[in-house]
Amino acid sequence: MNVLILGGTSESRLLAARLSQDSRFDPLTSRGGRVSDPQLPEGDSRVGGFGGADGLATWIHSHAIEVVVDATHPFAATMSGNAAMAAASAGVPLLRLNRPEWTARAGDVWLDASTPADAARMVESFSERAFLTIGRLGVWAFAGNSRTWFLIRSIDAPVDELPTRHELVLARGPFDIDDEIATMREHRIDVVVSKNSGGAMTEGKLVAARRLGIPVVMIARPPASPSDHVTDSVDGAVAWLRSRL
């Protein structure tokens, strides 16, 4: 079975590794190509956009793809929308592999934001020193805030305008809870801003915020695109793909 995995996540790499060990599957992973030092998947891969939903549909046909797995990041909404349209027009099934969301636990103080712009308004209303951990996309929404000092952390530097008062740290998870606590203490952080990405790799900041009693402005995931099946685990994805052999 020729499987196109739309990747860019740790789950997509795990899935590619699992399918590569099973001779019944021929997986090929596609990455967006925005990260300068990517972690490469096992098996075949390609990099860069397809040229929208039509380009992806054409690519699916020309590479005899039989199943598409959308294992992109929960916030890669454009790619997920394109995958839904392309799979439907190419007549191939689409599996969505989406890691579980984080949910608030006892002791958490979460302020729900619907978008980065919404989060930026909240932060400006009360924060003096914010820890902005939303990756490099969406940081532009905070650029107009001259009241708050920001500690901004992302894998690659944001290309958009940044808030005037900030320090930029380039780092890739996983992040240790004790290190996160030390960082928040050192910079006297009074709010953490996060996307609800889910996953263990970057959850340490939420545990640290809970222990320190620091509120978290949590940006909700964009709406899901249609698919034939949704799973939140690599095991679930492998089982569903096997059921279609």
Binding site for ligand NAP (CB under 6 A): 6-9, 30-32, 34, 49-52, 55-56, 72-73, 75-79, 82, 135, 137
Amino acid at 177: I
Strand-pairing partners, residue 45, are 29
Instruction: Select 54 or 176, whichever has its Cβ closest to ligand NAP.
Output: 54
Beta carbon of residue 225, minimum distance to ligand NAP (angstroms, whole number): 10
What are the Cα distances from residue 73, in Å, to 57, 58, 120, 150, 159? 20, 23, 22, 24, 20
Q: Which of 50/142 has CB closer to ligand NAP?
A: 50
Least Å from the CB of residue 36 to ligand NAP: 12
For residue 137, give both structure tokens: 């996309």
Q: What's the closest the beta carbon of residue 74 comes to ligand NAP, in angstroms?
A: 8
Residues in the chain: 245
Nearer to ligand NAP, 45 or 127 (CB): 45
Cα 134 off chain centre by? 9
Considering the complex, state which of residue 77 and residue 111 has its C-beta at the smaller distance from ligand NAP.
77
Radius of gyration of the chain, Cα coordinates, nearest whole angstrom: 19
Pairwise CA distance, residues 157 & 203, whole Å: 21
To ligand NAP, the closest distance from the beta carbon of 120 in angstroms equals 16
Which of 129, 142, 244 is CA-nearest to residue 183?
129
- Whichever of 68 and 181 has its CB closer to ligand NAP, that residue is 68
Phi, psi angles (nearest 5°) of residue 127: -95, 140
Could you say which DSSP state residue 97 is in? E
Q: Least distance (Å) from ligand NAP to the CB of residue 188?
A: 27
